[in-house]
Amino acid sequence: MINVIWFLLVSIGIIYSVCTGRVDTINNEIVISAKSGINLVLELLPMLVLWMGLMKIAEKSRLLEKFSSLIYPILSKLFPSLKSKKAIGYIASNVAANMIGLGSAATPFGLKAMEEMQKENSDKTKASEAMITFLVLNTSGVTLIPTTVIALRLAKGSVNPSSIILSSLIATFISSFVGLLIDYIIRRSKR
């Protein structure tokens, strides 16, 4: 799957710019893109180092476990196949961080959650059901306060920058609900 997407993005991009006579732009982009990629990695680095350190403390002190048992009753319904409490804890932390708009802190939790889910996965190259449910939940963006957008609206002189909170919230909710519903239907139909 990733093979196909990757190939399509690159080949459509190159062929279309050759056809429209903008080979130069794409030529430049190929050179620059690796640098942009590494820059993104470097942007991730500080948050990953800091939060992995803090979360290790939370893990060792069993604070993470406490937090996950709090939220376990809800999440275990979404992830019926998942046995690891640690994974649930990381999923809960990821969702919580996303909700309050801490996207950069959410990433380390999400990656840890994937790592924990991989331990239970029977085929290590194939996505498990729990992983897919988690990613659907994650990518449909459960954000309570879209801080970046509000900041940008403020900068552009909006009279009420946070007026979009309600509309975003409803849209986010619908998006997550539809995603989880389709995911649920697929899981059911496979049985």
Half-sphere exposure of 94 (CA within 13 A, CB side): 23
Residues 112-141 that bind another protein (CB under 8 A): 114-115, 118, 123-127, 131-132, 135-136, 138-141
Q: Does 80 bind another protein (CB under 8 A)?
A: no
Q: Does 71 bind another protein (CB under 8 A)?
A: no
Question: How large is the C-alpha radius of gyration of the chain?
Answer: 20
C-beta closer to another protein: residue 81 or 158: 158
Q: Given candidates 71, 81, 171, 191, which one binds another protein under the rule CB under 8 A? A: 171
162 and 148 Cβ atoms separated by less than 8 Å: no
In whole angstroms, what is the distance from residue 83 CA to residue 121 CA?
A: 11
Q: Nearest Cα to 26, choosing from 38, 13, 42, 45?
A: 13
CB count within 10 Å of CB 54 equals: 12
How far apart CA 160 and CA 185 sit, in angstroms, is 40
- Tell me: does residue 70 bind another protein (CB under 8 A): no
Which listed range, 69-77, 78-86, 102-110, lies at the site for another protein (CB under 8 A)? 102-110
Q: Is 175 in the site for another protein (CB under 8 A)?
A: yes
x/- binding map, residues 17-36, to another protein, per CB under 8 A?
A: x--x-x--xx--xx-xxx-x
Which member of 92, 95, 105, 130 binds another protein (CB under 8 A)?
105
